[in-house]
Amino acid sequence: MSAVAGQEAAGPRPVRARLAPTPRGRPAPATSLGPAHRAAPTLRERIEVLRAVDTVLSHDEETPVPPTVDPARLALSLAGALVEVVRGTRPTSQLARWLAPGVLAELRERTALTACGGHHVVLVRPSAVRRLMANASGSAVEVSAAVDDGIRVRAVAFRLEAHRGGWRVTALEIG
């Protein structure tokens, strides 16, 4: 009971706030009008603020952690899985960890469009990667693959970039 009383006497720990810089080209908001009289920010202004906050948080890390996973092995798995998502045999949510938000949204949209066609072929075997080529440059890897999905051979191209100690697909094209 004495330890609890000692903690109460010290008081709560202060919370550190992170302030994002004002985006370039945008004046600081007028404080004399108050928050109720400010105009709503446009979408472009919101994106600029998010970019500013993201860069502030990324600079807090002393040294970026390089990915430990071999990009060629990950690319081999992702190429087959991406074709299975397009084919409709794998849910898109299983790849959310390795896809950037914009790429994930585009993949979900494409999957929804192909599902509306009404042609659904049930295949027994999973997709097979026939050929994979990967070119590394700095903290990014460009990957191209030929994947046999059981009906046809599809071309898959994507870009892996280092992100928080892992790899993330930032660009995707599936033929």
What's the per-residue H, E or C state across the chain? CHHHHHHHHHCCCCCCCCCCCCCCCCCCCCCCCCHHHCCCCCHHHHHHHHHHHHHHHHCCCCCCCCCCCCHHHHHHHHHHHHHHHHHCCCCHHHHHHHECHHHHHHHHHHHHHHHCCCCCCCCCCCCEEEEEEEEEECCEEEEEEEEECCCCEEEEEEEEEEECCEEEEEEEEEC
- Residue 43 belongs to a domain: yes
What is the per-residue pLDDT for 87?
85
- Whether residue 96 sits in one domain with residue 148: yes
The verdict on 133 and 49 lying in the same domain is no
* CATH value at residue 150: 3.10.450.50
CA distance 20 to 46: 12
Kindly state whether residue 21 falls inside one of the protein's structural domains: yes
Same domain, residue pair 137 and 115: yes
User: Does residue 22 sit in the same domain as residue 80?
Assistant: no
Which is higher by pLDDT, 108 or 46? 108
Residue 68 banded pLDDT, cuts 50, 70, 90 = confident
**What is the average pLDDT score of the chain?**
75
Total domain count, the chain: 2
Same-domain status, 112 and 26? no
Convert the pLDDT of each residue in 92-144 to its tens digit: 888 989 999 989 988 898 888 776 655 555 666 778 899 999 998 888 999 99
Question: Is the domain of 107 the same as that of 39?
Answer: no
Tell whether 13 and 53 lie within a shared domain: yes
Q: Which amino acid is at 61?
A: E
- What domain range includes position 44? 2-58
How far is Cα 44 from Cα 73, in angstroms, rounded to an integer?
38
* Structure confidence at residue 10 as a pLDDT band (50, 70, 90): low
Domain boundary among 35, 58, 81: 58
- Ramachandran class of 154: left when φ > 0, alpha when ψ lies in -120 to 50, beta otherwise: beta
Same domain, 52 and 75: no
